[in-house]
Structure 1
Amino acid sequence: MPFDALDADLDARRVANLYRQRRVLDSPQGATVDVDGRRLVNFCSNDYLGLASHPDLIAAAQAGAARWGVGSGASHLVCGHSAAHEAMEQRLAAFVGKPAALSFSTGYMANLAAVTALVGRGDAIFADKLNHASLNDACQLSHAAFKRFAHNDLAQLERLLATTEADRRLIVVDAVFSMDGDCAPLAEIVRLAEQYDAWVYVDDAHGFGVLGDGRGSAIGIDSPRLIYMATLGKAAGVAGAFIAAEAVVIDYLVNMARPYIYTTAAPPPLAEAVLASVGLIEREHWRREALAMHINSLRAVLAGAGLMPSATPIQPLLVADSAVALRLSQCLGDAGLWVSAIRPPTVPTPRLRICLSATHDAGDVEHLGRTLLTLLQETR
């Protein structure tokens, strides 16, 4: 058979407890969802502010479809860039305090577009070892020298910067690390960039909307060297991503970034939904306050149980191996709690990745903590 090798690779994954399968939701995204005929409390979604099914976003998307239709018809540079896209980009740039912004269909595409356009052969990238896979792929495809430093190790980063002879120097980091939940020291990284004539490209997929007053991890860092990316399918509750930077950077990406140039623009109704979302992020501070309460509550219940240090909605719990991660996830599911088991190669160490939302019920967060404590005692 022509695909025997593929079957063998998949069988090996099954034996190693690394096989992946999709589960089908029968409800909108939310703090509780319907999966496989059961109602589960959802602790694995990146919908941190509970906006994915918010009526204001739904109404904005519906009105946008009535106004603009569904498809954009072409790439942004041909005839696909609508007034809705333009308004969204201007609003996002102003919200995060940058002169200009550019929208993308996904965060993966934004990372690929920016990194491969900004640097190439003869240049150098300096990247945190725990960066997201999309950043690593972009760095490798850029053909620049790809130098990685130990997680949040500023001393090693400085040594690399001090010894490079590259023409262009790009520091690439996640702002909030998606599988550990901790944050990069962005202010210190920007200071190193200024000292060693580098740029900083920061992926704030998990900080935008959540940290500070909602404007994300880079709030208060006023440097033209900082190129800011955030996704719109997590806390913002919609889809896509944007890059905000100096006007010359955005103009350069419009002209040089192949994943932007050669891709059909995202549907205009999504841009209308993003505009509604940014308004809610800006006004409804109670969502971030509720998140902070849930984070503190869960960490109090699970104190000493092995949660990694994290002040963000991502609360990872390292476990012994992939089999344990799967078993804990299944047992939590039996208790009506949906928590994903994250395994290699996504992470080096298997874990449960608990994600909290502003719209979770406090009692459900307490129930998760108590149930997990009991399961951990039984496992150990």
Structure 2
Amino acid sequence: MTQKVRISLDAMGGDHGPSVVIPGAALTLQRRPDAEFIIHGKAEDCLPLLEQHPVLKAVTTFQHADIAIRMDDKPSQALRQGRYKSSMWRALESVKKGEADVAVSAGNTGALMAMSKFCLRTMAQVDRPAIAAIWPTIRGETIVLDVGATIGADARHLVDLAIMGSAMAEIVFGIDKPTVGLLNVGVEEIKGVEEVKSAGRILKEASFPHLSYAGFVEGDDIGKGAVDVVVTEGFAGNIALKTAEGTAKQMATYLRSAMSRTLMAKIGYIFAKGAFAALREKMDPRRANGGVFLGLDGIVIKSHGGADATGFAAAVELGYDMVKHDLLSKIRDSLEVHFPSAAPETAVAAPETPSS
């Protein structure tokens, strides 16, 4: 792909809005000079910031939006009040109309998923979309999905997740046949709920040329990086994600407290400063910021609501990579191989989404 990558941004989303989104876009442009932007937001908030970034302004089309979706809005409320007039909806609509290749928002997760399903619809072979997150591990990084798009999953949906996650892993990790594991309460085949066991049998018995099924994995295998892709339903995935985030913050607090407790600890910190810097960089959530909405008929990236400009830029660049490497075609081709006759009706109701 040699043409420009057109990126649609919801400037009003997240905890910080345009003050993070516009500098984040400017950072992206420095590293991805073939990007172009459509920025949606309130003119009085966005245009003064755009003036501070003339290089970005030169490759940006700005579109005014009257409404900003609040972080605490319910998905149904956001659809009623923000459809057609909100910065979030218009960012998605730019993708639907073909004006942009990807939409990025740091806004309300439930509202973004509901609007994405309503505006872009799901792929023909996909019943429900998923949110895929990049998870730092001992081995490197792992893709985990679903981390909160919908609650509950039957065997077919879990297989869909495996196929979509492996397509994303091909792009992110640059590997031809990613390893996939199903998250379960144990690695033995007799353990777990029937939906997970049924999905395991399908993945084990079928011929999947684009993935390598590694069996069941447990919660501690995620951090180990036991497989390239971990598949679970959205309720368990969201709890796992929030638990990992909380544990990382807890450990950081413990370390800071321990390093400042005594004079010897402070001296030890000075000698180990390089190691702590490397650890901090490894665990920096900004490096892996950005959840990919998989299964939609369009590419949507969800940035963490509290991300700074560096973190938001990481989410935008993730979307850029998904476009450059043609994620949608990879998913469609893989699904067509395994489910050529599947064409479930596209749901348009707001999904049941864990709070984020």
- Using the size of structure 1 for normalisation, the TM-score is 0.27
Higher helix share: 2
TM-score, with structure 2 as normaliser: 0.28
